[in-house]
Amino acid sequence: MKIPVFWDEVQLLHDPAAELSNGRLVAYAEKPARARAIFDTLAGSGLVEIQAPGRLDEALLHTVHDAAYIALLRGAWADWLKEGCSGDAMAGCWPVRGQRDVPLTRVQARLGAACFDAGTPITAHTLAAAEAAAAIGQAAGSAVAQGARLAFGLCRPPGHHAGRDYMGGYCYFNNAALAVEQLLASGADRVAVLDVDYHQGNGTQDIFYARPDVFFASIHCDPASDFPYYWGRAEETGSGPGLGTTLNLPLSRGTDWASYEPALQAALCAIRRFQPRALVISYGADTFEADPISHFRLKTEDYRRMGAAIAELEFPMAVVMEGGYDIGALGANVLLFLEGLAQR
Ligand code: Q9C
Ligand code: ZN
């Protein structure tokens, strides 16, 4: 059985010029070539069947994201041009925590209030790419809801840093959350998310923080040293009816497979206890030893081990693509993970 892979080449058109990194404007790391490399490797593998996603469901998108936030993203590029700005649309001014809510008119100000870093520039094609990625998240969830044991959403831009009404960390819409909501809408009563990207999945955590029906587990680099800094401590465990349904497993820089594997087993154990109907995996290959913006030391063969360990869970799985920036190894790091997951 071939693994369904959802893909839309519109995603390649999103190509921001630059991001802020350690005090400098540098070339944007979340490049179109990432998705192209993954697509080429998977398409040439014989393991997958490439499929177009269905139409993005407006109601589902509004289940995950705030209406005003969706409208902001949809209008941002036109507003930016109308206000006479050039370059990619991005904020250069941000409100601080606890500030009084004030009405904002300039798109520059509205963007500032809806993001937590300078990692989400908006170009002429960003919205189309982000909507395609969201549709792909939805399609991966839908395939699993319809009986697939494993499906892969080749999403770009990624999604796990995007919350209900904010963007950040290269993410605009939360593709994994769309997969979750699609599964819940199709009758699953409990869904778990396992986020193995190097960076903590703050957006997914926030979206489901008070929810008893969605378990969120994230294994990531300690936010004391790494992005997204303001989320991802072990003490963050959920709130209200969702207390106990969030699990953060921060690891230190330099983590290799020997120190990663026990955290993975702890996450799998907690997910098993939750007894979900399905699992959504936010897969990032930025835990790779040569990743240009990250500091773990996993090797290409470790991704097959990771996939095989997760495959021990009996639940059907929808994988959505998050980060991973070493373009040379990215295709293999995705393919081996899917091979590991499929060997059951
Ligand atoms: N010097 C994802 O992997 N910038 N997002 C870090 C690096 C943000 C990563 C600065 C990294 C965001 C989906
Ligand atoms: Zn990441």
Q: Which pLDDT does position 138 carry in this prediction?
A: 99
Pocket of ligand 1 (CB under 6 A): 21-22, 119, 158, 161, 169-171, 197, 199, 227, 284, 286, 293, 322-323
CA of 106 to the centre of ligand 2 (A): 30
Helix 126-145 and helix 67-82, axial crossing angle in degrees, nearest 10? 160
Residue with tokens 């199709």: 186
pLDDT at 344 over 90: no
The answer to whether residues 25 and 19 touch, using CB atoms and an 8 Å cutoff, is yes
Closest of 160, 159, 193 to residue 317, by C-alpha: 193
pTM: 0.98
Contacts of 308 (CB under 8 A, 6+ apart): 340, 341, 343
Single-letter code of the amino acid located at 274: F
Q: Which pLDDT does position 318 carry in this prediction?
A: 99
Q: How far apart are CA 100 and CA 188, in angstroms?
A: 39
Q: Which pLDDT does position 96 carry in this prediction?
A: 93
Residue with tokens 């606890």: 98
Q: Which pLDDT does position 1 carry in this prediction?
A: 86
| CA dihedral (231, 237, 240, 242) positive or negative | positive
What percent of the residues of the chain are helix, what percent strand, and what percent coil, each to the nearest 5? 40, 15, 45
pLDDT band at 72 (very low <50, low <70, confident <90, very high): very high
Q: How far apart are CA 127 and CA 28, in angstroms?
A: 17
Q: Mark whether 199 is an active-site residue.
A: no
Helical (H) or strand (E) element with 200? none
The catalytically annotated residue of 14, 65, 161, 199 is 161
